[in-house]
Amino acid sequence: MLYTITPFFLEFKTPFSIAHGTRNGTDLVFLEIIQDGIVAHGEASLPPYLPETSETVQAFIDAFFMQHPDELANLSLSLQQLHSFQQGSFAAKACVDIAFHNWFAKKEGIGVWQLLGLKNHPLPPCTFTIGMGDKESLHQKVKDGNDFSILKVKLGGENDKQIISSIREVTQKPLCVDVNQGWKDKMFALDMIHWLKEQNIIFIEQPLPKNNYDDSLWLHEMSPLPLIADESIQQPTDVVKIKDAFDGVNMKLMKCGGISEGLKLITEARKYNLKVLIGSMSESGCAITAAAQLSSRRLDRP
């Protein structure tokens, strides 16, 4: 098997601001693997607030293939080797995991969702994300999201009510809100959620810091809107820990280590009747298409 690693800077059309800060793009790593004339691809996305970098991902992939230079013969075995190789490195594992699934599906001449034995349900509604900004940029973003029926708005800064009011000047579309842990006080969070409920908001994502479990539990009991865990949920084993503090989870391949772990996380979430959102970091169509393969599982009961 041959492989090629290509670092890439995914430059945004406009700067993107969330509660963590503002950036102009995201470092990606693309992986291409070739065997038996079949070419397959994987991707890692590396936003700056996570510990992995382009360099650590490349080092992980080189080390993994150095230790496991075996030909691709069995997907389960390859995945087992990958996910038991080193601790952490979830974006790097996602990159290789996506490429493995892509290769085996291409070999069979089927989609990855078929390879996983999933159904071909229509894709669920997809949101368009609007970062923080001034009124002019928010109005432009609403226009940019014209083709989407639901918009996702980043809050958790100083001007949350102004942001929603500015957006409501130009659209009455349903909105979901992602606070990215930006509200530090549970009473403030509850007041904001009551205010947001009057603004046709569907759900609130990660309102409080991820380590503040007791306040998240309290907020969940009090909240008039569903709460979705993002930063609070990383791997499948986290689901049971947060299941009473949220109504749903945001599964991202980069957090949990790829398609196989993402499927486990969704299955675990559905076991507790949690809603499932399939999310992404800023990623290219390679990793986003990989995540979309799991979309039919989001409503299934195990």
For residue 215, state whether it binds Mg ion (rule: CB under 5 A): no
* CA R_g for the chain: 20
Q: What's at 116, amino acid-wise? A: L
Q: List the interface residues with Mg ion, window 141-200 (CB under 5 A).
A: 178
Between CA 15 and CA 34 the distance in angstroms is 36
Residues 57-96: x/- map of binding to Mg ion (CB under 5 A)? ----------------------------------------
Give the residue with the Cβ less far from Mg ion, 113 or 231: 231
Give the residue with the Cβ less far from Mg ion, 18 or 40: 18
For residue 230, state whether it binds Mg ion (rule: CB under 5 A): yes
CB of 219 to Mg ion, least distance (A): 16
Give the residue with the Cβ less far from Mg ion, 99 or 249: 249
Give the residue with the Cβ less far from Mg ion, 43 or 205: 205
86 sits in the region (left: phi over 0; alpha: psi -120 to 50; else beta) called: left
CB of 288 to Mg ion, least distance (A): 15
How, if at all, do strands 127-130 and 175-178 pair?
unpaired
For residue 283, state whether it binds Mg ion (rule: CB under 5 A): no
Rounded to the nearest 5°, which phi and psi values hold at 110? Answer: -130, 170
Q: How many residues bind Mg ion (CB under 5 A)?
A: 3
Rounded to the nearest 5°, which phi and psi values hold at 135? Answer: -55, -40
The residue number with the shortest CB distance to Mg ion is 230
Burial class (CB in 10 A: 0-12, 13-18, 19+), 143: exposed
Considering only CA atoms, which of 88, 102, 26, 38 is closest in space to residue 59?
88
CB of 103 to Mg ion, least distance (A): 30
Q: Which residues bind Mg ion (CB under 5 A)?
A: 178, 205, 230
